[in-house]
Structure 1
Amino acid sequence: MKRYYTIGMAGHIDHGKTTLTKALTNIDTDRLQAEKDRSISIEPGYAPLLQTNELEVSIVDVPGHEKFIRQMIAGVAGIDAVILVIAADEGFMPQTNEHLHILHLLGIKKGIVAVTKADLIDEEMKELVEEDIMEHTENTFLEGSSIIFLDSVSKKGIPLLEKEIARLLSQIDHKNAGNGFRMPIDQSFSVKGHGTVVRGTIFDGSVAEGDIVTLLPQNKNLRVKQLQVHHENRKESSAGQRTALNLTGINYEEIERGNVLVKGSFPKTKVLDITLHCVPLFSHVLKQRAPVKIHIGTSEVYGKIVFFDRNELHPGQSKEILCQIRLDEEVIADRNDRFILRRPSPAETIGGGSVINPYGEKYRFGEETVEMLALQNQGSPEERITAELKKNKAVKKEDLLGRISVSTEELEAVYLHSTNFIVLEDWWLLAEEVKFQEAVLLDKLKNYHEKHPMRQGKNIAEINNDSPISEQAAALLTSYFEKNNKIKRRNEEIFLPEHSAGYPKQWKKRMEQAETRLISEGLQPTPFTEVIKEAGIPQEYELELRKFLAKHKMLELDDKHIISAEAVSNAVERLEKNTGEAFTLQEAKQTLSLSRKFLVPLLELLDREGLTKRENEKRIWKKPI
């Protein structure tokens, strides 16, 4: 599989980064007229270093001037290694130091120190320069790294640097192109005859010609018309590659540095849970909720810092701090994304670190929150999934992947090797939570049956509405309990398997008395309220008893009476026999010898039961009883 890498060229202004890049690639990365006029880099410049069948390497030359720190940070976003450029005649300078701190805070692990203008110093001076570099890089990722003395003009030392770059890249893991596509944008412009073009380094996944991508935070779907890598047309580009995409459906002025291209959905966020490492010294105390500026991907966004274990951060406290950034604007971020944190005024770097959870919430101040963040930061995928499910009960797979940033492969591995989780379609729950919800549901049904013995079951919607989990997850959980024979379902009601709707046993004689009376009264029953009162049945059960009997031996005549189903059946037989295919109200009255008080409700009952249909002054038989 072909591997793709990007190397950053960093260091103080005028130390020869652009000249060294040209010596390595034969490309001048200063593109802007202002850059050529002032002999400084303002925007990051990009050039291909190496292309083989197995390897493709790009170089990004970042601005060295302190005024262009934002451009520098945007330029090094997504790099795999760095060449720190130091001029032999000047040594470590302020921006050399700041660049080194920024690179260290961004989690860069590999690098080389290139000492330019080496022709200007003698061997004794070289030893002093080397000692100074070793002292400044102590306790950083460049400690023990190769130091190459060279001259970019004569190219003396360039072959040795190229050899060292190749050795360095062999030690770096290849980026995963299997994740979803994500590319922070650092440049947007228009090309005559083609339209809008954007450039960036692909952080994750891959993109191909013809793909539909989404521009965030604008939520605008765009088509990739063409793509290039180092001015060469390609059909596809993958993680680690510097890529230019020709997009249709948008003007280049609508796209800004910091926007992100993705495939599919990628939630935006304004709250980041982070782990923060500070630079050794910054100017003064950083207080709780102090304004800060965060550089993440190619974005620069203002916000406030929130601590959970202190109210202020003092210079020199370089220990890892678990805290939160609440942003003024939405950003696109993922777990483990690196960032730089700066103070707006006075402008200085405070520190940097990585994102623990890109979708943070408001938490309470205290040790409990710090412990929770520590678990999210260092815990195994199973531990992080467990913590998330304890907090949110039931979580969809796609949300779980986003909130704690586990991969699909990690999620599947956890499910296969652990019995601690229940997965219902795309919903994840803790097995202990499912067991608890089962106990709650069975207890609810038991109490319901005791209170309403004549009802078959409780309405599913009512049960699910009371659930602490989402309605969709609750419905799946109900089906899960049904499949495991914990409950039974009939239409929209659920009940315990052992439950059978009926009146209490102690009512047996009273019910027999009521039923006997209603049957004997035939088509002219006494109001039901009076029937149960005389039978000694509690009045509060009237409605339930009516509904129960209406499903068994009786039918509801109107809101005051229930009538024997047998009496109705007999009446229908008589009507059919005496009236033929249709009959009038008067004909029914003559046949059944009933007053309008009972006759009209009876005929309306036949309509409701689907036996007859009223047409003008007649009723037509629809089907036999």
Structure 2
Amino acid sequence: MIIGTAGHIDHGKTALVRALTGVETDRLKEEKARGITIELGYAYQAIDPAVPDGPRLGFVDMPGHERFIQTMLAGASGIRFAMLIVAADDGVMPQTIEHLHILQLLGMRQGAIVITKIDLVDRARIEQLQGELETLLAPTFLYAAPVFFVSSISGDGVPQLKAHLLAAASQWHRQNDQPAPLQEHQQDARQDPLQGRHASLFRLAVDRCFSIDGRGTIVTGTVHAGALQVGETVTLLPSSRGGRMLSARVRSMHALDQAVPRCSSGQRVSLNLVGLERSEIARGDWVVAETISHVSERIAIDLALLPGSRVLKHWSEVQVHVGTAHATAHVALLEGDQVAPGGSMLAELALEVPLHVCHGDRIVLRDASGTIGGGSVLDAFVPLRGKRALHRLALLGAQREHLLAQTLKTILELEPRGINLAPFAANRNLDAAVTLTLLAQLDTCNFKTREGHYACASAHWHTMQQLIVQNLEKFHASEPDNAGVERERLRRQSLPTLSAEVFAQLIASLIDEGRVLMLHNVFVALPAHSVLFSESEQALWERIVPLLSEQPFQPPRVRPLALTLGLEEEQMRKLLSKSARLGQTYRVAHDHYFLSDSVSALATHITAIAEVNGNATVALLRDRIGTGRKLAVEILEFFDRMGFCRRIHDRHLIRPSCIWLQSA
């Protein structure tokens, strides 16, 4: 368990840690010369002295001077237990109050009050200070916390405080050393948002970086979530270098000053990284699991102002502190134009530099006057438009829920076209196994796509199915001579915002249920609808097919066909047009019809060309199928129109959601 010291400058925080552990945490020459803490200091000891290799207790000694509040925030972001330290002679001071506010905003839930320097005052002064603290702490997480009276010089009260801390640490380790089930994510909003995250992906906020001769680069910080083993590869997400990502291998690690093969959430660790230079890492960066890659320039938060702060107006500039990072940002209020002191509102932070955050990360906001408020991250994947729309606000409201299954259920209810689960999982820092376990608890239609795992509430899926059937009924009524409607045309008419890949799955589900038919893998029709050649047309068609098949990639056009069979051009044109409506042919160019099988074969050739060259060109297709340049141009333009290819200058790129690829 990591314990942090909070309080005003010169209230005895460093001396208290030294009295508890025997460790001097002020390591800088300037700190020793000035007698104040400037950088974060650390001390560790075994919970049970008889078991030195057992669970350990860690202390983070944080500076109390207002000038070093940024350093204090970096240290406070990873602690689990706070000691609010107040000197008996000085009493409550400005940084006592600000540090208390910061701990409250960071979601701290466990701590103790330590009144130091009791050897310098009489009993009456201590009783007076107790009364002041009761009033100050009443609305905070420390309202019922135990109070200890100590003198770090004489040692009075230190054994009692130490016994309490060791007991709290033992209880914490018993609760957190167990394997974390899915319920670890389903925490109540009153619980510590950092606790119980062993099954999440690994995230460590870097608060210190240095190099050691012969060992290389070392980073230190507190593990906010997940677990990591020696030998694994991690990603570095810089907080201030444009979101550029670097990777490294973990050569070795220490947790609470002991060499270990593995670390997990809640531990303070140092990682020896191979593949990164000291100059590439800074406080504020994150060392995360290899699969994590997102950084955000805008983040949605549940904003809350402190009661004593100023009115916060839309687009006010603030300093944002999250993890060990900080950045300047503007606050975009989503439910009004200003927030009163003590008020709350959904908001977005427009950051000047991208930061890595996940749902539930605690944020502290400051301005020139000090700490004004904070909040909890709701969404790290903010849309570009519709930020104040009722639908968007409802989605953010759903993200306030800490029960994962309920959150996902509500989001799916709000999204009638379903969602790609990748942003949801990344925002919640979930691995694939947890995401699939969540889906198993809900009534959904879900499957893998090229963009990620798609999920849709079953009720919405059935609604989309019914919409397709209704549109097919209208189509057959208006165009009875057409055998069916092209799948892409049906998608644009029915569900234009749905991807072609998901729409194909939707059609496949209707086919499985016997509610629609797929003709030649292109046309969709209702089973009861049929369009056929007449007896005379069928006889003529059987004479045409061999002529179209003889040279499948350059079949004769309408006029030569008509002359060969002794027919009028218009009669031939009408018959071929009907064959296209029946799905037997495609009209590739004016008066030029190809058999459906020939078009599928052409799609295979174009795909093969693109696999080798990255794209298809007129020259490459011409040489592969042995046609002239003009016909190769017409063929590629046809596939562009059909959505199979996308033309960029003289290159034709294959679209991954194309219908022929899906049928291959």
Q: Shorter-chain TM-score: what band?
A: 0.7 to 0.9
- The equivalent of 2:606 in structure 1 is none
8 Å CA contact 1:178–1:205 kept in 2: the answer is yes
2:397 is equivalent to residue 374 of structure 1 = yes
Match of 2:382 in 1: 360
Residue identity opposite 1:31 in structure 2:
R
Q: What are the within-5 Å matches in structure 2 for residues 56-75 of structure 1?
A: 56-75=56-75
- Contact 2:418/2:456 (8 A) holds in 1: yes
- 1:384 matched to 2:407? The reply is yes
1:495 aligns with 2:524: yes
Residue in structure 1 matched with residue 509 of structure 2 by the alignment: 480
Deviates more, 1:475-484 or 1:255-264: 475-484
Structure 1 match to 2:33: 37
Counterpart position of 1:569: none
**3-state DSSP class of the match of 2:160?**
helix
2:212 aligned residue: 191
Aligned residue for 2:224, secondary structure, equals coil
SS where residue 186 of structure 1 aligns?
Answer: strand
**How far does the alpha carbon of each residue in 1:573-598 deviate from its partner, in whole angstroms, 9 at most, with x for none?**
xxxxxxxxxxxxxxxxxxxxxxxxxx
Q: How does 1:265-414 map to 2 (within 5 A)?
A: 265-282=292-309, 284-314=310-340, 317-343=341-367, 346-361=368-383, 362-365=385-388, 370=393, 372-378=395-401, 380-389=403-412, 390-391=414-415, 393-403=417-427
Letter in 1 for 2:86: I
User: Deviation of residue 493 (structure 1)?
Assistant: 2.1
Q: 1:525 aligns with which of 554, 560, 565?
A: 565
Partner deviation per Cα, 1:199-248 (whole Å, 9 max, x = no partner) = 10000011111110000143111111111124322111111111111111
SS in 2 for 1:178: coil
Pair 1:449–1:34, CA change in 2 (3 A): same
Q: Secondary structure at the match of 2:156?
A: coil
**Matches for 1:4-153 after TM superposition, within 5 Å:** 5-52=1-48, 55-153=55-153
Residue aligned with 1:193, SS: coil
With over 3 angstroms needed to count, the CA separation of the structure-2 counterparts of 1:318 and 1:548, relative to structure 1, is closer
CA 407–356 in structure 1, closer or farther in 2 if over 3 Å, else same: farther
Which piece of structure 1 moves more, 324-333 or 265-274?
265-274
CA distance in structure 2 between the partners assigned to 1:449 and 1:363 by the alignment? 37
Contact map agreement 1:62 1:75 (CA 8 A) in 2: yes
Amino acid in the other structure paired with 1:402: A
* Cα distance in 1 between the residues matched to 2:532 and 2:9: 91
Q: Is 1:309–1:366's contact at 8 Å kept on the other side of the alignment?
A: no
Give distance in 1, aligned partners of 2:563 and 2:416. Answer: 58
Q: Conserved in 2, the CA contact under 8 Å of 1:381 and 1:411? A: no
Partner of 2:268: 242
2:80 maps to a residue whose letter is D
Distance 1:550 1:8 in 2: 73
Output the CA distance in 2 between the equivalents of 1:550 and 1:79.
67
Cα deviations by residue, 1:39-70 (Å, 9 ceiling, x for unpaired): 11111111113345663221101010000111
Corresponding residue for residue 261 of structure 1:
287
Structure 1 residue 152: Cα displacement: 1.1
Q: Deviations over 1:237-289 (max 9, x none)?
A: 1111111111111111111111101111242112222122222213x432210
Q: Partner letter of residue 122 of structure 1?
A: D
Distance 1:119 1:152 in 2: 9
**2:248 is aligned with 1:208:** no
Q: CA deviation at 1:448?
A: 4.6
Tell me if structure 2 keeps the 8 A contact 1:385–1:404.
no
Q: Distance in 2 between matches of 1:272 and 1:427?
A: 23
Q: Secondary structure at the match of 1:203?
A: strand
Structure 1 residue 87 displacement after superposition: 1.1
| Higher Cα Rg, which structure | 1
**Percent identity at matched positions?**
28
Conserved in 2, the CA contact under 8 Å of 1:184 and 1:203? yes
Deviation digits for residues 141-171 of structure 1, max 9, x if unmatched? 1112111111112322111001222344466
**Which stretch shows the higher mean deviation, 89-98 or 152-161?**
152-161
Structure 1 portions without partners, runs of 5+: 533-538, 563-625
* Contact 2:245/2:293, CA 8 A, preserved across alignment: no
User: In structure 2, what is the Cα distance between the partners aligned to 1:513 and 1:73?
Assistant: 85
Q: Report the secondary structure of 1:202's partner residue.
A: strand
In structure 2, give the amino acid aligned to 1:525: L
* C-alpha distance in structure 1 between counterparts of 2:583 and 2:378, whole Å: 61
2:304 and 2:343 in contact (8 A); partners too: yes
Which residue identity lines up with residue 458 of structure 2 in the other structure?
A: A
Alpha-carbon distance, 1:412 to partner? 5.1
Distance 1:393 1:348, change over 3 A: same
In structure 2, what is the Cα distance between the partners aligned to 1:83 and 1:531? 93
* Cα distance change, pair 477–560 in 1 and its aligned pair in 2 (3 A): closer
- Distance in 1 (alpha carbons) for counterparts of 2:226 and 2:63: 28
**Which amino acid in structure 1 is aligned with residue 17 of structure 2?**
T
**Distance in 2 (alpha carbons) for counterparts of 1:225 and 1:517:** 74
Corresponding letter in the other structure for 1:424: F
For residues 561 and 376 of structure 1, what CA distance do their matches in structure 2 show? 54
What's 1:581 paired with?
A: none
Q: TM-score scaled to structure 2, two decimals?
A: 0.73
Amino acid at match of 1:192: D
Aligned pairs for 1:423-438 within 5 A: 423-425=446-448, 426-438=453-465
Structure 2 unaligned residues grouped into runs of 5+: 177-195, 238-242, 546-560, 595-664
SS of 2:235 mapped into structure 1: strand
